[in-house]
Amino acid sequence: MDQKSRKGRAGSARSGSVSGQDAGLTLATSPLASSTEPIAWQQCFAALLDFVPDAMLVTGPDGKIVLVNELAEKMFGYTRDRLLGMSVEQLIPERFHARHTAQRHQFLCRPELRTSAGTKAVLPALRADGSEFPAEINLKPVDTGSVLLVAASIRDMTLRHREEEQLRALSIELERLVAARTDDLEQANRDFRATFERASVGIAHIGPDGRLLRVNETLCDIVGYGKDELLSLTFQDITHPDDIDADLALMHRVLAGEMSSYAIDKRFLHRSGEVVWSTLSVSLVRDSQGVPQYFISIVKSIDDRKRAEAELQKNKESLERAINATGLGMFDFYPQTGRAEWNTEMKRHFGLSANAATGYDVFVAGLHPDDRARIEKIVREVMRPGASGHYQTEYRTVGIEDGVERWIEARGRVYFDGKGMPVRFIGTTLDITAQKRVEEALRARERQLQLIVEANPIGVARGTIDGRVLEANAAYLRILGANSEDVAAGRLRWDVQTTAEHSMSDAKAIADAQAYGVSGLYEKELLRCDGTRVPVLITCAVIDQSRDLVAFVLDISERKRAEERIRQTSLHDPLTGLPNRGLLFECAARIFSGVRRAHKHTAVLYFDLDRFKPINDNYGHQVGDEVLKQVAKRLTETIRGADSVFRLGGDEFLILLSEIHDDAQAGDVARHLLWEISRAYYVHGLELTLSTSIGISVYPRDGQDLETLMSHADAALYRAKQVGRNGVQFYSEELAAKARQQSRIEEQLKSALSRSDFELHYQPVVDMHTAQLTGVEALLRWPNSHVGPDLFVPIAEATGQIARLGEWVICEACRQHKEWCERGLPPIPIAVNVSAVQFRHDDFAEQFASLLEDEEVGMGALQVELTETALMENLDRAIDVLRRLQEMGIKISLDDFGTGYSSLNYLSRLPINKIKVDKSFVQRIEHDSASRAITEAVIALGRTLKLEVIAEGIESESALSYLRSHGCSHAQGYHVCKPLSGEVFEEWYRAREGKACLPGAAVFVS
């Protein structure tokens, strides 16, 4: 009867009534029917019977059955209803009825025969089908207080009797075998002892109290004790203290029957104190009653293995550190158990701290929502039985703790068991966020480049080296008059679109691109689809060492047209339309070649317009340009048909006479030109006049090339201007000598500047009314050279050395000023002459002030003298520079006033402090009324503008008196004092200190 059935029966018994039959009692016929026992007790007793493991019958004093259990039903083959109320003798063969009845009465009536353990008997029992079976009956009285019942537990002894018979037969056989095997057992015992002692593992028998009962030699060797010494110890004595509790806990579980054996790795203590790692296997031996006798302990030293494991762990940690250093994450996942191990870097990839828990659910939770389903599908697929097991993918994570989004590249391998099930999944992860950002930037850059290429006005095409065009942008197609269908159909080819004369250039460009990656720029012509030619500028490059080329093609048709226009323009003056210098050399080469073959001569006429600048200054450049156009027209109309006229720039012109017989013929042409140019010009209602100076050189007498001839003609022109302008001058040896002298002076100037061979002399400037010194003018001298400043200064200006020379003058004047002050002289202002070339520098004012600061003198120490010509070159700029100088505290003098041609118109605008009457007027005032008139006008103008007026070049008392009487304020000249060296000037000044500095004058006292 199974447990469920028993519970069911018990439930029926508990819930039934005492008068019903479902509880197993028929109280109507039972001695219990009149019982006064509580019904609850009866129900409980009835229910308990179904839980008894034997068949149970409960009879009353009359031998009638009042209670049965289910096993009794099965054993006797009756239903419960049949058994209840049946006499117990009916279940015994008839031949035993009398005996059984007597024994029952005796059991009931003689209490002294009953025992607490009950009365046991073996009798045949009778089933409902009439078959007999041996039954062991155990009777026990049940005293209810009102009636005595008998409970009989019955066991079917059929099987036991059969087994007993077999056991007896086996016992006889066993006795025989034991006798026969005694010697074998003794030999086996000897073999066991030998095996125990000689086993390669340590063996010990340990009592439940921990004492060592038996040990073999191997165990002694493992722990280093002798056998007798070891048997005096407990297992705790030789166990590492940290391992005792775990070992004891496992032993107690075995003793409690929770487990039959156990195996652990533990540490023993060697007699020397060293730790010995061993594997311990323990099982418990019990006696036949189940009482623990002793433990069998098998000990195997694993020191070598533990050392290897320690080394392996060390290597693993080193490897993990190395892997972490590389940024690689590592994972090890066991699908069947769900266990997962991640290294620190892998955790970082998922935004986790180093000690965070990991697992597949953590992996899924850390995936970006947009990637989660895809990656889970990939993982399922890679772990599917029969799959390759190779795993490589990319995904995004969102940090579980830090919330940071990362791109991860994962690689791994799944290992399967013999049944094809995944058992292990290991791999690595790499943070490729930075790489992804770079890739995205590159893709964005590629899109930008694609847009740039497509929108680029430069044609871009990719093709093969053999000429086929694979891709082309719109600009390239436009250049060739093609479309994208031509590219797709393969109709565009570089070799076909290249003209024959440029095939070698293409071959060289391709070779350069293959060798160096990119070719140089070169020009060629391409054949358009309509057969016309288009000039292009092209370069090409090789892509990734492949056989593909990229060509960059620029349509230069417009540029070529512009170049031709520019070439024509560059060879002609845009204002006059005359050929310029560029065309001059081409024409000269052609003319010289023809003349040389014919053994004839040609002439170069170099001329510029005299006093053209005042026209520009007075009437503006528009009038000046119109005059130049008329000059060009007159020249063109005057020369012979074979001659050529060129404008060199400004007011300079040159004429090539193609063929002359002698110098007289060239002179006649030149004089005719002088007459034509001198005729009046009518421009915008103005009548203007000009003159010109012409210098002539003759080929081949004066030179074999154009440069030489132009240089010689220029020298002749310079001479023509020197002798009075509006004239003609042929080049001669005398001019050549002067040119050589100029060259020699130029070289000497360079040497003198490097050695500072120059000196400054100082000429006093005296107040005419007080006779007191007001300043000095520094005059440049070149000792031992016999060359005056009127000669070497223009050469310095022409050769670009004036800047260094002017700087030296300023610095030397500053030095002398400081020296005089240090020697007790008052701060005497020194006026220095500034060349027009120096003054042209945009930052002249700042440079001048900087030199004074460098020399550590005040801004009032030096004054600037400028010629009228220097200022008139660019009046507006000159006014700006002079104003900046005055704002710094530097005074300005206008030198040689009256010799210019337009200064009176602009004098009121100039921010100056002084004007100097030119000595050419001062020296003639005694005998030239014009000079006196000019001088008086200049003095009156200066006084009106409240300027100091200095008359220079005073050489007589009469001149001095005249100038004083007409209001001139300051005097300078040999009559006052000639220029003196710094040292001599100091002596001159000291000799006149407190006295008048003018001859015959008394000290003025205000």
Q: How far is CA 197 from CA 36, 50, 184, 220, 223, in A?
A: 75, 56, 20, 10, 15
Please determine, for residue 212, whether its predicted confidence score (pLDDT) is greater than 80: yes
- Pairs from 345-351 (Cβ < 8 Å, separation ≥ 24): 345/429, 346/429, 348/431, 349/397, 349/406, 349/408, 349/429, 349/431, 350/397, 350/399, 350/400, 351/397, 351/398, 351/399, 351/400, 351/401, 351/402, 351/403, 351/404, 351/406
Tell me what the mean pLDDT of segment 872-892 comes to: 88
The pLDDT mean for the chain works out to 84
- The per-residue pLDDT for range 145-177, each reduced to its tens digit, is 778 888 888 988 888 888 778 877 877 777 777
Quick check: 654 pLDDT over 90? yes
The pLDDT score that the predictor gives to residue 1004 is: 35
pLDDT score recorded for residue 138:
85
Q: State yes or no: pLDDT of 19 exceeds 60.
A: no
Phi, psi dihedrals of residue 292, rounded to the nearest 5°: -60, 135
Question: What is the pLDDT at residue 373?
Answer: 94
Report the distance separating Cα 363 and Cα 905, nearest Å: 95
Q: What share of the chain is helix, strand, coil (3-state, %, to 5)?
A: 45, 25, 30
Range ranked top by mean pLDDT from 483-487, 792-796, 798-802, 831-835: 831-835
| Backbone angle region of 403, left / alpha / beta, with phi > 0 → left and psi within -120 to 50 → alpha | left
What ranges make up the beta strands (E) of 80-184? 119-126, 132-143, 148-156
pLDDT at 10 over 50: no
pLDDT digits (tens, 9 = 90+) for 594-647: 888 888 899 999 988 987 887 887 888 899 999 999 999 999 998 888 889 999
Query: Which residue stretches of 201-302 are H helix?
Result: 217-223, 227-231, 241-255
Instruction: Report whether 282 contacts 262 (CB < 8 A).
Output: yes
Contact between 340 and 334 (Cβ < 8 Å)? yes
Write out pLDDT tens, residues 394-433.
999 999 999 999 999 999 999 998 888 999 999 999 998 9
What is the reported pLDDT for 862? 94
Name the more confident of 12 and 400.
Answer: 400
The predicted structure's pLDDT at residue 2: 47
pLDDT of residue 18 exceeding 90: no
Say whether pLDDT at 16 is over 50: no
What pLDDT score was predicted for residue 191?
66
Q: Is the model's pLDDT at 710 over the cut of 70?
A: yes
The model's pTM: 0.40
Out of 316-320, 570-574, 627-631, 658-662, the most confident range is: 627-631
Average pLDDT estimate for 360-387: 92
Residues sharing a CB contact under 8 Å with residue 201, sequence separation 6 or more, in sequence order:
218, 298, 299, 300
pLDDT of 484 strictly over 90: no
Flag whether pLDDT at 876 surpasses 70.
yes
Tens digit of each residue's pLDDT (9 = 90 or more) over 930-985:
888 888 888 988 888 899 999 999 999 999 999 999 999 999 999 999 999 999 99
**What confidence score (pLDDT) does residue 513 get?**
82
pLDDT tens, position by position, 253-304: 989 888 888 988 889 999 998 888 988 889 989 988 889 989 998 988 888 8
Show Cβ contacts of residue 558 under 8 Å, excluding neighbours closer than 6 positions: none
750 — pLDDT class (breaks 50, 70, 90): confident
Q: Give one DSSP letter per residue of 885-909, joined into a string.
A: HHHTT--EEEEEETSSSSHHHHGGG
Give the pLDDT score at 537.
87
pLDDT of residue 545: 62
